Amino acid sequence: MNKTNEQRAMQASITTIIGDVFLVAFKLVAGIVGHSAAMLADAIHSLSDMVTTIVVMVGVKMANRAEDKDHPYGHERFESVATIILSLVLLATGAGIGWAGVQQVMNWDSYATPTIPGIIGLVAAVTTIVVKEGMYWYKRRVAKQIDSSALMADAWHHRTDSLSSVGSFAGILLARSGFPIFDPLAAILISLFIIKAAFDVFRDAMGKMTDKSADEETEHAMREIILAHEPVLEIDLLKTRIFGDKIYMDLEIQLDGNITLREAHETGEAVHDALEAEFAKLKHCMVHINPTN
């Protein structure tokens, strides 16, 4: 990710943070004034959006630092670290909201006259659905353009907020229709959305932290490019590993054992350059030459 991409990531994050500030304030007022547990849970979810976006900004900033003596392969994995932190924040948020909703449902008999949520909660839910869905598509587009997993995870966080607001809307609407228990039930449903998103984000980040290989489609395309070079007789070894959002590759190719060392070197360089030109995520490619018997 070059400097321009880093700036685009920061701009996208700052834009959504500004939107989240207004949403959190609006939903807190709607939850308190409208007496809605579901909307208060939704407000906390939006607040967690702000926190995780800041974590993503820090992670992206650190991931773009140049190689140094202590990190000769770069700092790309800091973005995965930020994504893991994001997933833990999501998990804690979801668990807290869910537990509060469960307690309210379990103690429902102690409420003599359950409070009916106000219509302001419905307005806040609809507003959140529209704004958060817009944030999701905006940040998703930027994440795909600059190939940032942390930014994509944050985009999905916005999508979960949008989906949770659908649950808030349904819960508040049912509560206002004479079924007040659906308001805390909606809060529990929201927590399940958040927890699922947390596990999805965590699984993706851990895959990038544990040297997971590139997908089969990518490796197949790599093989086609390698074998397109006529001097290459066979691929003896092709291994890839994901390092943050980059790919590292170890390659062994078989060449005619009777060609000169210079010719073998030139073929290896040609294969190396062709792979790096085709795959922008390929940061390092080690090519080893094996002669035929």
- Kindly report, residue by residue over 97-109, the tens digit of the pLDDT: 788 778 877 876 6
Looking at the structure, do residues 276 and 177 belong to the same domain, yes or no?
no
The residue among 209, 238, 260 that closes a domain is 209
Which domain does 246 fall in, by range? 216-291
- b/e sequence 42-73, b meaning 16+ C-beta within 10 Å: bbbbbbbbbbbbbbbbbbbbebbeeeeeeeee
pLDDT greater at residue 232 or residue 157: 232
Looking at the structure, do residues 183 and 258 belong to the same domain, yes or no?
no
The residue among 209, 236, 254 that closes a domain is 209
Looking at the structure, do residues 200 and 81 belong to the same domain, yes or no?
yes
The residue among 171, 194, 209 that closes a domain is 209
Count of domains for the chain: 2
Predicted TM-score of the model (pTM) = 0.60
Reported as type and span, the H/E element at residue 290 is strand 282-291
**Average pLDDT across the chain, whole number:** 81
Looking at the structure, do residues 19 and 93 belong to the same domain, yes or no?
yes
- Kindly report, residue by residue over 218-256, the tens digit of the pLDDT: 999 999 999 999 899 999 999 998 876 788 899 999 999
Looking at the structure, do residues 246 and 179 belong to the same domain, yes or no?
no
Say if residue 275's pLDDT is above 90: yes
Structure tokens at 69: 């003596």
Say if residue 132's pLDDT is above 70: yes
Looking at the structure, do residues 285 and 262 belong to the same domain, yes or no?
yes
Looking at the structure, do residues 131 and 256 belong to the same domain, yes or no?
no
Looking at the structure, do residues 19 and 131 belong to the same domain, yes or no?
yes
CATH code (residue 53): 1.20.1510.10
Looking at the structure, do residues 237 and 110 belong to the same domain, yes or no?
no
SS3 23: helix
Looking at the structure, do residues 56 and 152 belong to the same domain, yes or no?
yes
Q: Can you say how many angstroms the Cα of residue 65 is from the centroid of all Cα atoms in its chain?
A: 20
Say if residue 6's pLDDT is above 80: no
Looking at the structure, do residues 141 and 197 belong to the same domain, yes or no?
yes
Looking at the structure, do residues 15 and 118 belong to the same domain, yes or no?
yes
